[in-house]
Chain A
Amino acid sequence: MPTENIELNEELVDKLSWLSRIKLSEEEKIKLLAEIKIILSYIDEILTLEAGSEEITHLAQGRVREDIKLNSTETGMELLHQSIIEDGYVKAPKVYKG
């Protein structure tokens, strides 16, 4: 079973916390590690399925639209009414560390 091959440890939990940008407390990290093990051993069961070779990614047909302008019925400021706005810009944290 692949779960045996994957390193299920705190390092993995830290990595997932980072990839998801979700801060975890120490208790949560322990809890998550335990639960990941349980859930992975469950979903590992699909590996004994004789799967086909075709990946089904979608259950509908692809569609396109024409290149025609339509003004939004709501203004940008309405849609962003719960943002912090400064001079019409959305205020966001800095993208520089330090």
Chain B
Amino acid sequence: MKSRVLSFVEDLRRGAADQYKYVEKALEEAAKKDPKFNIFITLKGEIPENLALSGKLAGVPVAIKDNIVTKDLRTTCASKILENFVPKYSATVVKIIEKEGAVIIGKTNMDEFAMGALGTTSAFGPTLNPLDVKLSPGGSSSGSAAAVSSGIVDIALGSDTGGSVRLPAAWTGVFGLKPTYGAVSRFGLISYADSMDQIGPIASTASDLAYLYSIISSFDPLDPTSSGNPWGNKIERIAREEPDYDILRSIKLKVPKELVEHPQADDSIVKEFSRALSKLESEGAEISEISEPSLLKVPQVYYIIAFSEASSNLARFDGVRYGSRVIMPEEVDWDTYYMENRALFGWEVKRRIMLGAFILSKGYYEMYYSMALKARGMIKSKVEQMLSGGGIILTPGSPIPPLPIDYDATDLSRLNAVDAPLMLANLTGLPAITIPVGKRGSIPISIQLIGSPWSEDILLSIAKVTEEIFG
């Protein structure tokens, strides 16, 4: 399917489009749908004047997750602590897309500080799934996925630390990509877990996904973990050109059976997944089953590392230099000041911070944190073996349908089946993509692919072909 963004940009260049049209439509749709689905935390009311006429994203409306810093535009991380935070600097990716003429129409809702899988920990209320308002759209990039799924925009940016782009993409039936760690600059992404965070594109078509990705993936000197990429303009070409049907014949798809035969997995979803595999096989894909029970412990390893890093990254929010204040500096001493202001964090964030402090504290570091780092090493080698010789890991995008919006997520072990296939990519820094392959009623069905480092070109190519096959 042709990239909608590209079509517009090309029409604009030829003088065959109204430069304001795309943004106008987006704002109209947003005005209609935002009240229904609670997608935006901050929504621009008007079309900015002087829209760019040239640039790869000239006149294109984009929705940005509210943990990505935007100069002069409120950035809250869906938290009371940053409820009125207006940064005076922008994230690198924001600068990049604005330079290409993109129009940021608003900042999208999310789980507070990206901690959550349902979109329900936001201080601004949950985003509802546009496919069925009784259901969660997935998190933590709930608003960005819903913005694309509901048709407000064709492209959005989210962030993915433990599946936060891919899960909402799966649950709302759109495309989502988590880059190879280091491919997209993290400067200006408000940190949750630095060793795993990545900004990722969400889009309504595979071509739009690839197009946006080709623009945001580049080396940034301001990001110490940033890398240049080896693709040149390959990804942009993939976005523009016809799908490459040969790609399916060149890959070896490997399905880890423990992740599919998971006790928490939904039978009908698993059936749909098998049907999708058959279709891919009939188009020439080689699919085999592999067994690796340790993958079931991936979420536990992830949580240990994520909680620890989060407790450290969120230490800076104390109300001194910015952020909400419930008390004034001259009223109390500094410890009391911090204790009071930081009580504004939501519950999920509070408990993760305190668990993280526990894990890093004296006496427990070796037991948990050090163990988790070693487990990560072990999992990384196992995955490298799976991916050797042209291998690509294939799992359902989500082995369960979207959970109800009032689901109680206190016990994280109940999300093991959902978490494991997604967090595997974050723990190891590998690129991963969610591709919608159909619906069962209003339940979207998707597959997830995890590739070797810097194999996004292959993943996006597969996405384009898959889109055609299942179209």
Assuming the contacts A22-B339, A83-B320, asked whether A51 and B410 have C-beta atoms less than 8 A apart, the reply is no
Q: A35, B374: Cβ atoms under 8 Å?
A: no
Among A13, A32, A55, A97, the one with the most B-chain Cβ atoms within 10 Å of its Cβ is: A55
Chain A residues near B381 (CB-CB < 8 A): 52
A34 to chain B, nearest CB (A): 9
Assuming the contacts A46-B372, A52-B377, A55-B373, asked whether A60 and B329 have C-beta atoms less than 8 A apart, the reply is no
A 31-68 to B, binary, CB cutoff 8 A, 1 in contact else 0: 11001101100111111111111111111111101000
Count A-side interface residues using an 8 Å CB cutoff: 60
B52 interfacial by beta-carbon distance below 8 Å: no
Q: Once A and B bind, how many residue pairs between them come within 8 Å at the CB atom?
A: 185
Chain A residues near B361 (CB-CB < 8 A): 15-16, 19
B 350-390 to A, binary, CB cutoff 8 A, 1 in contact else 0: 11011101100100100110111111111011000000000
A6 to chain B, nearest CB (A): 8
- Among B294, B303, B330, B350, the residue within 8 A (CB) of A39 is B303
Q: A53, B311: Cβ atoms under 8 Å?
A: no
Among A39, A46, A63, A65, the one with the most B-chain Cβ atoms within 10 Å of its Cβ is: A46
B72 to chain A, nearest CB (A): 10
B311 to chain A, nearest CB (A): 7
Q: A83, B322: Cβ atoms under 8 Å?
A: yes
A79 to chain B, nearest CB (A): 5
Chain B residues near A84 (CB-CB < 8 A): 328-329
Q: B333, A93: Cβ atoms under 8 Å?
A: yes
B271 interfacial by beta-carbon distance below 8 Å: no
B156 to chain A, nearest CB (A): 25
Chain A residues near B336 (CB-CB < 8 A): 93
Q: Tell me the bound Cα distance from A93 to B338 in angstroms.
A: 9
Q: A49, B339: Cβ atoms under 8 Å?
A: no
CB nearest to B339 among chain A residues: A23
Chain B residues near A94 (CB-CB < 8 A): 329-330, 333-334
B200 to chain A, nearest CB (A): 15
B88 interfacial by beta-carbon distance below 8 Å: yes
B195 to chain A, nearest CB (A): 6
- Among B195, B331, B354, B377, the residue within 8 A (CB) of A16 is B354
Q: A93, B334: Cβ atoms under 8 Å?
A: yes
Q: A51, B375: Cβ atoms under 8 Å?
A: yes
Assuming the contacts A35-B410, A50-B378, A57-B373, asked whether A22 and B182 have C-beta atoms less than 8 A apart, the reply is no
B86 interfacial by beta-carbon distance below 8 Å: yes
Assuming the contacts A22-B353, A39-B412, A45-B300, asked whether A80 and B321 have C-beta atoms less than 8 A apart, the reply is yes
A88 interfacial by beta-carbon distance below 8 Å: no
Q: A90, B321: Cβ atoms under 8 Å?
A: yes
Q: B371, A22: Cβ atoms under 8 Å?
A: no
Q: A93, B378: Cβ atoms under 8 Å?
A: no
CB nearest to A65 among chain B residues: B221
Assuming the contacts A45-B300, A54-B377, A61-B227, asked whether A19 and B410 have C-beta atoms less than 8 A apart, the reply is no
Show the binding face of B for A, using Cβ within 8 Å.
84-86, 88-89, 181-182, 195-196, 221, 224-227, 294, 297, 300-301, 303-304, 311, 315, 318, 320-323, 328-340, 342-343, 345, 347, 350-351, 353-355, 357-358, 361, 364, 367-368, 370-378, 380-381, 410-413, 428-429
What are 18 A-B contacts with C-beta separation under 8 Å?
A6-B364, A20-B315, A23-B339, A28-B350, A32-B354, A43-B368, A45-B300, A46-B368, A51-B371, A51-B378, A55-B374, A55-B376, A55-B377, A91-B330, A93-B329, A94-B330, A94-B334, A97-B333
| Besides A46-B300, A46-B368, 10 new A-B residue pairs in contact (Cβ under 8 A), listed by A number | A21-B318, A39-B351, A42-B411, A42-B413, A49-B375, A55-B374, A59-B181, A59-B428, A93-B320, A93-B337
Show the binding face of A for B, using Cβ within 8 Å.
2, 6, 12-13, 15-17, 19-24, 28, 31-32, 35-36, 38-39, 42-63, 65, 73-74, 78-84, 90-97
